[in-house]
Structure 1
């Protein structure tokens, strides 16, 4: 009878099915346990990210303390702040799984670094059946912050006659229809044929006017975002109020009184000329003006204190030079000396070599299709203007914008890019 029972195979399918169901349930249960552990790890990693960034943000407790007292090395205040950030950004249940977590926040001469590490043990449900009561997880996050706390901005606004171009295509058309086909509102002081006065009468907006108002908007942004009264200082320059003295001109001296700078920016206007075709229209000598400004700015610092300030040149221009330069012109001369070309990048290279960053806002040189001078001298290299303006800028600090499509927004964005923010590095 026993031998017959052993030979009976009629119940094998049911037995195998029962075993497979047990295995399948264990697999599903194990997957759920691991998913729970992964979910907890993700939450803890997000909390670690928040702690790594928050503890070294510009206005964090630790950064402010270190910048105030000039200390380097481990920052106790930042580590305490990191713990608060970590605990605030996850739930109590997940925090209960922690078995260990550590914070290492330090500052060297130029950079703040943070590293947050955690270990946790997530209890299991199904895996307990096979004797595994928990799943161990771990993770870390690191961050760096190079504070640019004290910065001097040198605002260089191109106010040469070419910035008297209509701000938009409709403004250009309005000027052309009222100004004998000319799209430029040349400012001929004391003349009855002053196109600048005409532009005001017919309501045509000029490129320089948008630049001036956008500069004021950017200065307001600087004032609202600064943390200390002297954190940002500014100086304002143009290429001269009159073509008879077209040299680098200080409109407002370097100052932390941003209201004064803003008021001065509102006075910036197009360069005047004594008569039509004065000096063969050679009033846009960007190379010479930037060379003079290079000497004025000197060498940039680290920006970690008021005595060692970082320096930033803020250049706003349509990027076309028109100057007397018999030698060294990049394009064909008109006559013996008149040089019309995209901006010469050689001086910007030297400025950046001095540790000065350059933020460039290129106000697109709009096409003037029915203008013979434009078609002959500018159109052949128009595609190079943006290329050279970008080459002048420091990495990440270049914008091209048509004046009618948000020049104020572009200037504000450039300013905010200059102000470093902490970033995750791992």
Structure 2
């Protein structure tokens, strides 16, 4: 008799565990669907993100709410949809942050708990996600086109230049007076690419990226600058003014080429004045914004160089060659003055190669060789520094750095 009396509660207890396990499984399915919907509604290419970027003030994003509900129901197994009692979805934009919150309640039927008069279990859950972006960005592309960027771009190009020059030189000097010194013409005739060629092509490739990743009109703009077309006109030179017309930027960038000099050692080769170029572009850039709207744009200086200055300056950080020629690594203080104005700096350092058999390199560059890369990295904003040697792809590195800059958006949920 005792056993008979215990059978009912024992079966009820076991059945309760089965029902609760089933209810938990059903809740997990709903939570997975809710998580997917909360995140999916804030996906980079979603209608909600596009709508948020077009908003001029904070508020709820109705189209994203509707998107999230559709995504939620699409992820829920069909047999489970009728069990949903309610869903509440709210997606907001506040500043550069979008947040989504999806609450649900569902009724899961029981099998064994009916013994105790309970024919269903109510389950509920909340899924949240956040998307942060500095959406509107102006890119100031400062490309070092001084003679040292005439170095052959890859090891294969270096070998090709050395094979075709009488002194086995890997540099394509762009001289205009003495044809025998014009290794730029040699590079063109044998099909050897120079670093400046690859940098030009890589910059043009970034215009395609800017178009591909743009979600709203005028989201990304670009302006391109060099150190000047000739030794006699050296100085910050605008190739194309800031524009969201990436086709126009791409076409104008064809004009980026190696700086010409009349002859080797013309003007003492003092043609790379980082301080002057960075100070002038600082004034042109002005103060960086939040990036939240098209009228308050984030500003990014994208600086590509081999990091060695060569100019007239008696206050040089390294020993002078002659009375005024200063060869030194980039001085990060010029970059800091730009960063202090709320501007991010992305740096692509094209490795300044060691030339152990070259007396000039041994006497003037080797003493500070260890500082070149570290100073270039100090110029960059945290996380926005890449180094590329001739054996690596400049185009791929520039694209990776560009995408890193615009990948500030992130999802959490």
Regarding TM over 0.5, the answer is yes
The CA deviation string for residues 197-250 of structure 1, in whole angstroms up to 9 with x for no partner, is 122223322111111111111112212332344222221100011112210001
Distance 1:397 1:369 in 2: 30
Distance of aligned partners of 1:121 and 1:341 in 2 relative to their CA distance in 1, 3 Å threshold: farther
Greater radius of gyration (CA): 1
| Whole-angstrom CA distance in 2 between matches of 1:410 and 1:36 | 51
> What is the Cα deviation at residue 36 of structure 1?
4.8
Q: Partners in 2 of 1:176 and 1:87 — Cα distance?
A: 66
What is the match of residue 408 of structure 1?
395
Q: Does 1:349 align with 2:327?
A: no
Q: Does 2:250 match 1:259?
A: no
1:154 to 140, 150, 153: 140
1:287 aligns with 2:275: yes
* Change beyond 3 A, Cα 1:105–1:190: same
CA distance in 1, matches of 2:82, 2:224: 57
| Matched position secondary structure for 1:105 | strand
The correspondence of residues 48-67 of structure 1 with structure 2, limited to 5 A, is 48-67=34-53
User: Which ranges in structure 2 are unaligned for 5 or more consecutive residues?
Assistant: none
- C-alpha deviation, 1:32, in angstroms: 6.8
Instruction: Give the one of 68, 92, 104 matched to 1:82.
Output: 68
Change (3 A) 1:341 1:233: same
Q: State the SS of the aligned residue for 2:129.
A: strand
Partner of 1:11: none
Contact 2:153 2:193 in 1 (8 A): yes
> Does the 8 A contact of 1:145 with 1:421 survive in 2?
no
Are positions 1:167 and 2:153 aligned together?
yes
CA distance in 2, matches of 1:146, 1:39: 32
Q: For residues 10-55 of structure 1, give each alpha carbon's deviation from its aligned partner in whole angstroms, at most 9, with x where no partner exists.
A: xxxxx9xxx9xx999x87x888766655544443333333322332
The match for 1:367 is: 354
The answer to whether the 8 A contact 1:399-1:410 is kept is yes
Q: Which runs of 5+ in 1 are unaligned?
A: 1-14
Q: Contact 1:248 / 1:289 at 8 angstroms: preserved in 2?
A: yes
Question: Aligned with 1:405: secondary structure?
Answer: coil
Return closer, same or farther for 1:130/1:312 CA change in 2, 3 Å cut-off.
same
Partners of 1:108 and 1:341 in 2: CA distance: 46
* Aligned 8 A contact 1:143 1:422 in 2: no
Alignment of 1:163-242 (within 5 A): 163-179=149-165, 180-192=167-179, 193-242=181-230
SS class of match (2:255): coil
Residue 178 and residue 89 in structure 1: after superposition, are their counterparts in 2 closer, same or farther (change >3 A)?
same
- For 1:94 and 1:395, locate their aligned partners in 2 and report how far apart those are by CA, in whole Å: 48
The whole-number CA distance in structure 2 between the counterparts of 1:241 and 1:226 is: 31
Structure-2 residue corresponding to 1:107: 93
Q: Are the aligned partners of 2:150 and 2:194 in contact in 1 as well (CA < 8 Å)?
A: yes
Rounded to whole Å, the distance in 2 between the matches of 1:145 and 1:31 is 39
1:385–1:116 CA distance, 2 compared to 1 (3 A): farther
**Offset of 1:59 from its aligned partner?**
4.5
- Equivalenced residue count is 406
C-alpha change, 1:37 and 1:372, in structure 2 (3 Å) is: farther
- Return closer, same or farther for 1:328/1:89 CA change in 2, 3 Å cut-off: farther
TM-score, normalization by structure 1: 0.83
